[in-house]
Amino acid sequence: MSKYKALIGLEMHCEISETNTKAFSSAANAYSSLPNSNIRPLDMGFPGTLPVVNKEAVKMALMTSIVLNCSQPKYMYFERKNYYYPDMPKNYQITQETKPIPVGIYGKVTFECNGEDKTIRINNIHLEEDAASLDHLFDTSVINYNRAGVPLLELVTEPDFHSAEEAVAFLEHMRSVYRYLDISEADSKKGQVRCDVNVSIMDEDLDENDPNNWGTKIEIKNVNSFGGVKDAINYEIKRQTKLKETNKYDEMEQQTRRWDEETGTTIYMRSKVNAIDYKYFVDPNIPKFKITDEWLEEIRKSIPMLAYDRKKKYIEEYNLSSYDAGILVKEKAISDYFEECVKIKTDIKQAANWINGMILSYLNANEMSIKDFFMTPEMLKELIELIDSKAISSKQGKDVFAKCLSDQKTPKQVVKDEGMMQITDEAAIMEIIKEVIDENMDQAKTYNPQYPKILDYFIGQVMKKSRGKANPAVANKLMKEELEKLVS
């Protein structure tokens, strides 16, 4: 019933965690090691040092740019954003502003939110370096320069989100993209993802395609978790709506606020009216370099199918439920395992059930990656076929699964070693059935085909005698025939 709608734009910073070295220096890109152990003179702003662009980081940035359907530049430039802060000894951050164009501009991306597709526009994506990390202890602050110079991707969206749910669904989508592309774990718990969240509200019946109708932008800085993004947006929408309703909204200035996790509120930091001028200029120590079409093409070809497309494919081509497909694509390695099963012609539905059920619980329980999982897709196929061909029952299948993993044997080997092969031979089963009937003749004679409940008891006896190896379907069929013969 709200008279207002929210416009939300995100600035998502994601550290690239998968390069060996930093963005412009040869120090290791691993800031979780001993504090201040991964530093080169450049990271400390020592005189005489020169930045060298990390090609791998540029490649990853271009990959992301392509995936987000952005235009890529013909030449790569970097700029200096000038300001002083103890976490940045060079006194400037190497980054890319929109002129000349960064790694990517004007893209769009489609993601899933509550089961529906949503498309938003990307304003730009650029590559920059992270600052060092500061820890504030009681009355001291300590600096860890391991993070200084770590490559960082900043992605700026247009204000196309209308709710916290949409914004968070987008962030989850991007986390999946970064993981599938092997660019970053994008783990906000490790501080790898940080967001600035921009929120305004406008009258619901006005046209949002006309920026003149937009409300005043409030920027919330450095929100460090997806939960924080959600809460900050919801809080800010409520706060701004109240201002509207008390006629105070229009006199509000553009401002920067910060999210306070403890109180669950946003707190005023500064007005944005006199925005800081960072005096950007192209870094003269980094020669511009050409992004060739050949290189872009090579990068394009190396991009794997992403979770969003895989999920659609699993639903449309493999007839899996949206729920099952969703679980399969959560992690690329799992999805790759599943696709390998499909490739070697395993029954698709059953492979999906095994992976989403037994395999994922096993991996979770053992905190293991599927990359270290003993059972290969070939073995899973073998197991599924043993059950399908009724060589073993599906209950036995679970035991074989466990035994495979504990003894590091193939399913066939386990079945053989444990003597688990089901008896499907009719003559062999018939022999057991005869014995069971003989031993329970009185009851057998009470068999009534109209009320065949007693059949369960007889089958139970057959299973007992065969130590669970008689094929239940065959036993059932034969036992029924025998009992019927007896009483007819």
Residues 6+ apart with CB under 8 A from 39: 27, 145, 146, 148
Residues in contact with ligand ADP by the rule CB under 6 A: 7-11, 156-159, 198-200, 214-215, 217
Pick between residue 217 and residue 398 the one whose CB is nearest to ligand ADP: 217
Distance CA 372, CA 376 (A): 10
What is the smallest separation between the CB atom of 214 and ligand ADP, expressed in angstroms? 4
What is the smallest separation between the CB atom of 201 and ligand ADP, expressed in angstroms? 8
Quote the distance between the C-alpha of residue 272 and its chain's center: 35
What is the smallest separation between the CB atom of 275 and ligand ADP, expressed in angstroms? 7
Pick between residue 59 and residue 108 the one whose CB is nearest to ligand ADP: 108
What is the smallest separation between the CB atom of 195 and ligand ADP, expressed in angstroms? 10
Between helices 472-487 and 455-465, what is the axis angle to 10°? 130
Pick between residue 72 and residue 200 the one whose CB is nearest to ligand ADP: 200
Pick between residue 153 and residue 405 the one whose CB is nearest to ligand ADP: 153
Distance CA 142, CA 124 (A): 34
Pick between residue 218 and residue 415 the one whose CB is nearest to ligand ADP: 218
Pick between residue 151 and residue 159 the one whose CB is nearest to ligand ADP: 159
What is the smallest separation between the CB atom of 242 and ligand ADP, expressed in angstroms? 17
What is the smallest separation between the CB atom of 149 and ligand ADP, expressed in angstroms? 23
What is the smallest separation between the CB atom of 14 and ligand ADP, expressed in angstroms? 15
What is the smallest separation between the CB atom of 211 and ligand ADP, expressed in angstroms? 7
Pick between residue 214 and residue 362 the one whose CB is nearest to ligand ADP: 214
Pick between residue 36 and residue 255 the one whose CB is nearest to ligand ADP: 255
Which residue, judged by CB position, is nearest to ligand ADP in the bound state? 9
What is the smallest separation between the CB atom of 163 and ligand ADP, expressed in angstroms? 13
Pick between residue 170 and residue 308 the one whose CB is nearest to ligand ADP: 170
